[in-house]
Amino acid sequence: MVEQLETFYRGRRALVTGGLGFVGSSLVHELVRLGAAVTVIDACFPDQGANLLNLKGVLEEVNLVVADIGAVDEISNFLVDHELVFNLAACISHVASVHNPLQDLERNCASQLRFLCALGELSPRARVIYTGSRSQYGSPLYLPVDEEHPLKPVDINGVHKTAVEEYHRVFHEQGRFRYTSLRLSNLFGPRHQMLHDGQGFLNWFIRQGLCGEEIRVFGDGDQQRDFLYVDDAVQAILLAAACPDCEGKTFNLASGTSLSVAEAAAAVCELTGASWRCMPFPLERLSVEPGNIIMDASRLQETLRWKPQWDFHAALEETVSFYRQHGHHYFRPPRGKVVLDRKGFALS
Amino acid sequence: MVEQLETFYRGRRALVTGGLGFVGSSLVHELVRLGAAVTVIDACFPDQGANLLNLKGVLEEVNLVVADIGAVDEISNFLVDHELVFNLAACISHVASVHNPLQDLERNCASQLRFLCALGELSPRARVIYTGSRSQYGSPLYLPVDEEHPLKPVDINGVHKTAVEEYHRVFHEQGRFRYTSLRLSNLFGPRHQMLHDGQGFLNWFIRQGLCGEEIRVFGDGDQQRDFLYVDDAVQAILLAAACPDCEGKTFNLASGTSLSVAEAAAAVCELTGASWRCMPFPLERLSVEPGNIIMDASRLQETLRWKPQWDFHAALEETVSFYRQHGHHYFRPPRGKVVLDRKGFALS
């Protein structure tokens, strides 16, 4: 399988939007390793997880553009003739979308719509992988949640995730490019931002544990979550982009198994020596809490003959170990600014 | 039933967005007749169907504001303390959304999101009726199309119709107001714009017939459509807003029966003396053509104990008769401009 990926990706022109973020940067590392010619576009919106250090080790091998994907006039030179587009750029914050839904509309829908219109012209027939989210389903009506489950997100961010997925589908059907949508479950792993708890809570638990704080679990901790290690997700994304059977379709990308939030907290405590306790949900979190989530990932697993390779506890240990080593780059806001030279390439 | 509606609506503060348009103005006439205190907001976007003459006879009895519903700073005075909101404002053009999806995003999603945020503050717990569309379903996977049918619109306008419906649902669940969504089938009747064929084709057939032109049917004319007369739709909308069982839910609003496009064309010919012929679909129309449509309206019919009162041919005759009498107001662009006095009220 790995050999097939190397054959497929070697020398291919690949664009990764959101490539300084958690999943995006992990994907970029793997694409570079496979020999692809990678362009990264990232807006570096504050608090969204972009971190130049996420590309440590491969920064000189990629073409990095710091820009909003919606600024198509500025970035059009970088959108030409890509064979593969991994469209991961998104502002992910359920709580923020309650307070500022219009910003969420602008940053997610408007930027994506401009980007996809330009992409259809500049990279016609590109294979585009869009990463959706389990939040598109909202509170599950049944478990495990399969791809036919109604889409009733609990917040505006979830509404916009679906609208952007739909842009991909409509443009695919109009022949502008070929898409696959992968709806991600609760991903965790190295390179996730650690500055606030507005995105994935498992990484936040790790921060609390490593900083010697008590881990705070909202509710009774019984909520089930479908955790997937980022390296497993990256393998599936790479396979999906190489798989013609995935074209024009939507898949859950998940482990298909679940763990309670309390079990996850306890596992972090075991590795870090911290303790945990339950506390009531803050009101603003309760309004975006979807209840138990387990996803049915069998459609993707069968199509790709892929399954997660990482055991939860081993992956967690790997993650904790990453932050023990690199935490100083993640636990404080990055120093300095990303600047662009006149070609639009970033210098750190 | 009519007596119940009069009791319910007499003296109620009702806001109608898009109230100068086809369905909106028909609703306003009925609300005024029932004794409601009506405010109309309409942006009067060119080509969208707003026509001051649509309110002929009731113009002095309504509070008319010519403004984009998204201009919430300008119109906030008019959003206060409504008990009933009929949110019909929308830019409907499937073909235009292919060429200018960003304008569609701005006029539909962005304006609606601003409006709904303001409405939640200024008219908390209002009953809001949103009119969605059969276009949200896309090409039917089965017939008749019920409310559980997947939402796979063929164009960006349809994607945005669903996103706006979802804003209503999310805000309902957040307790900002109470909503009902009614997904409309192919409506026809008086007060529909007659300047272009970018919206409902049956009214366009009537124009062609009355102007002595040959009626042009795209394709083989066998496509089935679920036609509903606007007066029947208005009755259902009024009943739904008065019905607590409709709160928080989505319904098809349709006849539940179908007619082929060729049969509809033949019926228009019978009334106008015109002839019709088939011609190939223009390419841009083919891309947004959903195939046969028949909607399952039983959920709404059972909840409201409502059913259409108008026979198709009688309703068509009524419509043709309206345009024979008033066609000069509809077949040419309206003369003059709508201007606002300093209170924001429109003067024609």
Q: Beta strand pairing status for B346-347 and B339-340? A: antiparallel
For residues A104 and A96, the answer to whether their CB atoms sit within 8 Å is yes
| Structure confidence by residue, pLDDT tens digits, B180-217 | 999 999 999 999 999 888 888 899 999 999 999 999 99
Distance from CA of A114 to the nearest CA of B (A): 7
* Contact between chains at B109 and A113 (C-beta distance less than 8 A): no
Q: What angle do CA B174, B179, B185 make, to 5 degrees?
A: 140
The chain-wide mean pLDDT, for chain B, equals 92
pLDDT at A232: 98
pLDDT at A51 over 50: yes
Q: Which of B48-52, B119-123, B214-218, B283-287 has the lowest mean pLDDT?
A: B283-287
DSSP, res B331: S
For residues B121 and B73, the answer to whether their CB atoms sit within 8 Å is no
**Long-range contacts from B321-330, C-beta under 8 angstroms, 24+ separation:** B322/B189, B322/B190, B322/B191, B323/B190, B323/B194, B323/B206, B323/B207, B323/B210, B324/B210, B326/B53, B326/B190, B327/B194, B327/B207, B327/B210, B329/B51, B329/B53, B330/B51, B330/B53, B330/B192, B330/B193, B330/B194, B330/B195
A339 in a structural domain: yes
Q: Measured between beta carbons, which residues in chain A are less than 8 angstroms from residue B155?
A: 170
**Maximum CA pair distance of chain B?**
55
* Contact between chains at A154 and B173 (C-beta distance less than 8 A): yes
* Contact between chains at A98 and B174 (C-beta distance less than 8 A): yes
Query: How many other C-beta atoms lie within 10 A of the C-beta of residue A128?
Result: 27
B33 in a structural domain: yes
Distance from CA of A41 to the nearest CA of B (A): 21
Residue of B nearest to A109 (CA): B105
B123 in a structural domain: yes
Q: How many angstroms separate the CA atoms of A245 and A303, rounded?
A: 7
A73 in a structural domain: yes
Closest CA to A96 of A232, A287, A257, A238: A287
Q: How many angstroms separate the CA atoms of B148 and B160, rounded?
A: 18
For residues B110 and B163, the answer to whether their CB atoms sit within 8 Å is no
How many structural domains are present in chain B?
A: 1
Q: Is B265 left (phi over 0), alpha (psi -120 to 50) or beta?
A: alpha
A62 in a structural domain: yes
* Contact between chains at A113 and B105 (C-beta distance less than 8 A): yes
Residue in B98, B109, B170 nearest the CB of A109:
B109
Would you list which residues of chain A are within 8 Å, Cβ to Cβ, of chain B? Answer: 98, 101-102, 105-106, 109-110, 113-114, 117, 148, 150-156, 159-160, 162-163, 166-167, 169-170, 173-174, 287
Q: How many angstroms separate the CA atoms of B255 and B206, rounded?
A: 20
Residue in B110, B152, B170 nearest the CB of A105:
B110
Task: Give the residue from B102, B109, B170, B176 with the most A CB atoms within 10 Å of its CB, the best one to mutate.
Answer: B170
Phi and psi at residue B344, in whole multiples of 5°? 90, 0
Instruction: Determine the average pLDDT of the residues in B52-79.
Output: 96
In the numeric block, which tokens belong to residue B53? 């003459």
Task: Give the residue from A108, A111, A159 with the most B CB atoms within 10 Å of its CB, the best one to mutate.
Answer: A159
Would you list which residues of chain B are within 8 Å, Cβ to Cβ, of chain A? Answer: 98, 101-102, 105-106, 109-110, 113-114, 117, 148, 150-156, 159-160, 162-163, 166-167, 169-170, 173-174, 287
| Structure confidence by residue, pLDDT tens digits, A207-257 | 999 999 999 999 999 999 999 999 999 999 999 999 999 999 999 999 999
Distance from CA of A335 to the nearest CA of B (A): 35
* Contact between chains at B110 and A102 (C-beta distance less than 8 A): yes
Residue in A114, A117, A170 nearest the CB of B155:
A170
CB pairs under 8 A between A and B: 68
Closest CA to A66 of A48, A40, A92: A40
Range of the domain at A164: 2-190+228-255+296-305+332-347
Instruction: Determine the average pLDDT of the residues in A154-161.
Output: 95
pLDDT at A141: 95
Q: Measured between beta carbons, which residues in chain A are less than 8 angstroms from residue B170?
A: 153-156, 159
What Rg do the C-alpha atoms of chain B give, in angstroms? 19
What Rg do the C-alpha atoms of chain A give, in angstroms? 19
* Contact between chains at A167 and B159 (C-beta distance less than 8 A): yes
| Structure confidence by residue, pLDDT tens digits, A261-306 | 999 999 999 999 999 999 999 887 887 788 899 999 999 999 999 9
* Contact between chains at A166 and B170 (C-beta distance less than 8 A): no
Instruction: Determine the average pLDDT of the residues in A337-343.
Output: 44
Q: What angle do CA A208, A211, A212 make, to 5 degrees?
A: 90
Distance from CA of A293 to the nearest CA of B (A): 19
pLDDT at B336 over 60: no
For residues B60 and B345, the answer to whether their CB atoms sit within 8 Å is no
pLDDT at A199: 84
pLDDT at A334 over 90: no
Q: How many angstroms separate the CA atoms of B86 and B90, rounded?
A: 12
Residue in A110, A155, A173 nearest the CB of B170:
A155
Task: Give the residue from A100, A166, A176, A181 with the most B CB atoms within 10 Å of its CB, the best one to mutate.
Answer: A166
* Contact between chains at B153 and A167 (C-beta distance less than 8 A): no
**CATH number of the domain encompassing residue B162:** 3.40.50.720
Q: How many angstroms separate the CA atoms of B261 and B252, rounded?
A: 21
Residue in B98, B110, B170 nearest the CB of A159:
B170
Q: Measured between beta carbons, which residues in chain B are less than 8 angstroms from residue A102?
A: 110, 113-114, 117
* Contact between chains at B163 and A167 (C-beta distance less than 8 A): no
B327 in a structural domain: no
How far apart, in Å, are the Cα atoms of A111 and each of A10, A73, A104, A158, B90?
A: 30, 12, 10, 16, 22
Distance from CA of A148 to the nearest CA of B (A): 8
Q: How many angstroms separate the CA atoms of B43 and B31, rounded?
A: 20
Task: Give the residue from A170, A250, A284, A286 with the most B CB atoms within 10 Å of its CB, the best one to mutate.
Answer: A170
| Structure confidence by residue, pLDDT tens digits, B72-81 | 999 999 999 9
Q: What DSSP string describes A10-78?
A: TT-EEEEETTTSHHHHHHHHHHHHTT-EEEEEE---TTS---GGGGTTTGGGSEEEES-TT-HHHHGGG
B131 CB-near residues (< 8 Å, 6+ apart): B23, B86, B87, B88, B90, B181, B182, B183, B184, B237, B253
Q: How many angstroms separate the CA atoms of A176 and A119, rounded?
A: 8
A52 in a structural domain: yes
pLDDT band at residue A344 under the 50/70/90 scheme? very low
B203 in a structural domain: no
Q: Measured between beta carbons, which residues in chain B are less than 8 angstroms from residue A130?
A: none
* Contact between chains at B109 and A114 (C-beta distance less than 8 A): no
Residue in B114, B156, B167 nearest the CB of A167:
B156
pTM more than 0.90? yes
